[in-house]
Amino acid sequence: MIASRLRMPFGLWMSRLLVRRSLRTIGHSRRLRLSALAVGIIIPAFFGHTLLAHRAHELADAEREVANTALTLKHHAARTIEITDERLRIIASLVASHARDLGSEAMHIALREQLARSRDLGNISVIDSEGRAVAEAAAFPVRALDVHKRDYFQTLRDQIGDGVAVGRPIVGSLSDKPMLPIARRLVGPDGSFAGAVQAMLNVDTFQDVYDSVDNEPGSILSLWRADGTLLVRSPHASEFVGRNFGTSDNYRHHAAMNDTKPFWATGITTANERVIAHGFMDGYPLYVTASLSKSEVLVPWRNMALVQGVLGGGLALVLVSALLLLARETERRQVADKQIQLLADNVTDVFVLGSLDKSPMYVSPAARTVLGYEPEELIGLDPVEHLHPDDREVFADHWAKLVDGQAPGTCRVRHSHADGRYIWIEASVSLMLDPSSGRATGYVAALRDVTAHRETEERMRHMALHDALTGLPNRALLHDRLNQALGYAARNHTPFAILACDLDRFKAVNDSFGHPAGDTLLRVVGERMQAVLRSYDTVARLGGDEFAIVVPHLAEPCSADAIANRLIAAVSEPIDLDGRSVEIGVSIGFTVCSDGDVGSDELFKRADIALYEAKAAGRNTYREFCAEAGARIATHGQLGLDMRDAIRRGEFRLVYQPVVQADTGAVVSFEALMRWRHPTRGEISPGVFIPVSEETGLIVPLGAWALQEACREAMNWPAHVRVAVNVSAVQLRREGLEVAVLAALAASGLSPNRLKLEVTESVLMQDADAAIVCLHRLRDMGVRIALDDFGTGYSSLSYLRRFPFDKLKIDRAFIRDIADPDAAAIVRAVVSLGERLGMGIVAEGVETAEQLDLVRREGCHEVQGFLFSRPLPADEALAYLQLPRALVAA
């Protein structure tokens, strides 16, 4: 994929050059007749030459592909090892400052905290100079572990200074999964070898990435140690992993020489000829390899050779037809030339044509929107002058590799914007070659703004395992700790507890003193909960004012009562908020498990039921789960429990109602609507289950699922058709909506401007400031925002002033009564208001041809309602796009 992106700008430029030459050289009847006379000689030679050229092109493409893949895998592996090495450096520093108490529980806790910060590590250990473990994160006291015979330990022992060594994959005794030992040398005060700190890196960190790479059939991706030992291979082959191939020709002539250029040779682990490329990691004894089978690479070429052979023989028999086709092809290329020019002038990426001294000769108009400069301002200037000083070396290295004939792929650098700031751009650069001499005459580059994407990556990494506000573990880490407690209980039959906590009177404090005070209160509560628990208990914030706690290794089941009492007492203490003393409480529901035969979802459900009972009992108290609790929440509560099961079983579905242009009937978008068929109660109205989901908080996972499903389905529609998804007040109040939107867009590949989020005025009236800030951030990503049911609230105009919506949806009540002059006047006023503010207008609930005619007269350009279609399943919505629009066009 990277290779094709690099080649595209050059291909576009070359096609324009060839079209102009064909116009100068083709079209005269004499030359066409001469071509007819020479066809018996030229056609066989032409096809033979073309086939050889295509074969060479396929092989060159394969070389570029494996080189780019190896480069990408190298960066992934290097970053993974760097992160692990950072952990080892931190631990090495701890060891240096606590050399006398390495076997203490404090050191174990410190190691376990470092382990918790990386989901890819299975264990972290400190090894003395004799190869024996003196501390580890996974257990206390430390288990018997002797690594003095392992090669990586011997490497560290014999080397001078500190450094990192990598061992062969081994099966972890705790995880029962293949692990990769990563160890850093410890140096004593006198410079002597003092031992090592080692981390067990999950091999799946690499295996999953390599298995998921979208590559050609027959490809092999692998990770090697610098001495030629195979560490990871995709497709997996256990018979080769861990073996040393240092005596092979491939290793001696290429890997050992740090040769990054692709080469053709017989594979080390296969018997067929392959194109192979290496990527070496600076500072670490590792390299990656990507390879493709030559026979698989040439499959398209063989198919093409067969087709061209048949076409060549037929072409010689139908000379006149061939010449006519040539004339038509010339005309088609003229049209294509104009289209290419149009494309260059209108694409969102900035295209640059430049000379070999790097100064641009042509810059596409997209420079105005991406960089803020007029294209003429950039022509003739050295592009390095516009780069951030810290990134100029990166670009210089990239350019040097390009001129040297390498394929460096893309590079990311910061480019100055006309307004004074820097933006991140991804630059794809390739050389332009003279067709006759093959010499480079200049370059072509495509520049893409990836600032938002880079910021999103950083934010996602930060939010992976911890809550941004309190620093407590988030839901993902809590589930991991709960699964660990379940496993321990199953093995040792020791009781543990899961507690669900909900703060009492938090909303009153938040509403009275504002969100900053509410945030401070949540941080204080988190600190107090941690203070009354043990260091290895887990306190997590699930969102809003909801917390959950996993308490492993209970001395007795009744100990959970004492823990709940301590939590209630700690949280109930007065809290000082900038000189103002406030008091809140906490309701707690818990369940105790001792055999590990109950799933984590069931335990959470039991704790939630107990929490419901605690709230019903007057709050600021606790209740333990009992089987009879389910009967006390028979209808409303049971529906909420059924919804949890329905989410897990995938019973919810989406249907799609089209929004069409009022004059043509062409589909503009589909509104995604949620439906639920209960296994025993049948179809349940959204008016029933949506309020329950909001009360229980289930609207958050339901909303995230709806975003994922709607975006995935929208990828099957034409590029101009958008999908609209409704957003609840609960989703806006709680954290995670932006992450859910980004995750849905990334997973589906849908462009942000094809997603529309619909909110109602009732959503905005609940915590309006925070909601509007959130909507602004989503809109800045490119997502469109619509105000649904417009006109039903008392402060519509206020929200139009505070947030520039992309669409206003007129409530169906006005459309139903549009024949009434007063209702029509309201519709007319809304249309006029929307036009002044640059907002599109959608009329909802159009059910009759008369209503359609009236909304057209009032200036509504988009309509939605049963006159056009009921909400449709996904397959029927796709079919609807192909139907004629006779009803609306009439």
Percentage of the chain modeled with pLDDT above 90:
25
Weakest-pLDDT range from 546-555, 585-594, 740-749, 770-779: 770-779
SS3 469: coil
8-state DSSP, 253: I
- Rounded Cα distance between 48 and 312, Å, is 10
Chain center to CA of 130: 45
Query: Region 754-772: what's the mean pLDDT?
Result: 76
Q: What is the DSSP code string of 521-558?
A: HHHHHHHHHHHTS-TTSEEEEEETTEEEEEE-S-SSTT
Question: Which of 96-105, 353-362, 764-773 is predicted with the least confidence, judged by mean pLDDT?
Answer: 764-773
State the pLDDT confidence band at 792, using cuts at 50, 70 and 90. Answer: low
Stronger pLDDT, 341 or 441, i.e. the higher one: 441
Q: How confident is the model at residue 232 (pLDDT cuts 50, 70, 90)?
A: very high
The H or E element that residue 47 is part of is helix 39-97
Most confident of 65-69, 225-229, 536-540: 536-540
Q: Which two tokens stand for residue 255?
A: 């890997």
Confidence of residue 339 (pLDDT cuts 50, 70, 90): low
For tokens 């009275």, the residue is: 512
| Contact call for residues 73 and 221 (beta carbons, < 8 A) | yes
- C-alpha distances (whole Å) from 716 to each of 540, 656, 720, 870 are 39, 13, 11, 20
In the block, residue with structure tokens 């690479």: 297
Looking at 58-62, 112-116, 295-299, 329-333, which range is the least confident one? 329-333
**For the chain, the helix, strand and coil percentages under 3-state DSSP, each to the nearest 5:** 50, 25, 30
Q: What are the tens digits of pLDDT across the range 643-689? A: 888 888 899 999 999 999 998 889 999 999 999 998 888 898 888 88
pLDDT at 622 over 60: yes
Residue 2: predicted pLDDT: 34
Query: CA angle, 776 as apex, 774 and 781 as ends, to 5°?
Result: 100
Question: What's the whole-number average pLDDT of the chain?
Answer: 83
CA-nearest of 545, 622, 637, 546 to 591 is 622
d(CA 498, CA 547): 11
The H or E element that residue 462 is part of is helix 451-462
pLDDT-derived band of residue 6, with 50, 70 and 90 as boundaries? very low
Q: Any idea of the CA torsion for 850, 856, 861, 863, to the nearest 10 degrees?
A: -10
- pLDDT, one tens digit per residue, over 442-483 is 888 888 888 888 887 777 765 778 888 998 999 888 999 999
Show the DSSP H helices in 182-318 as ranges.
Answer: 204-212, 249-250, 294-297, 299-317
Q: What tokens were used for 308?
A: 């061209």
Distance CA 417, CA 308 (A): 50
Alpha-carbon Rg for the chain, nearest whole angstrom, is 33
Q: How confident is the model at residue 513 (pLDDT cuts 50, 70, 90)?
A: confident
762 φ, ψ (degrees, to nearest 5): -65, -35
Name the residue among 738, 673, 731 with its Cα closest to residue 699: 731
> In which residue are the tokens 């996602």 written?
460
Q: What is the pTM of this model?
A: 0.36
What is the pLDDT, as a whole number, of residue 24?
A: 46
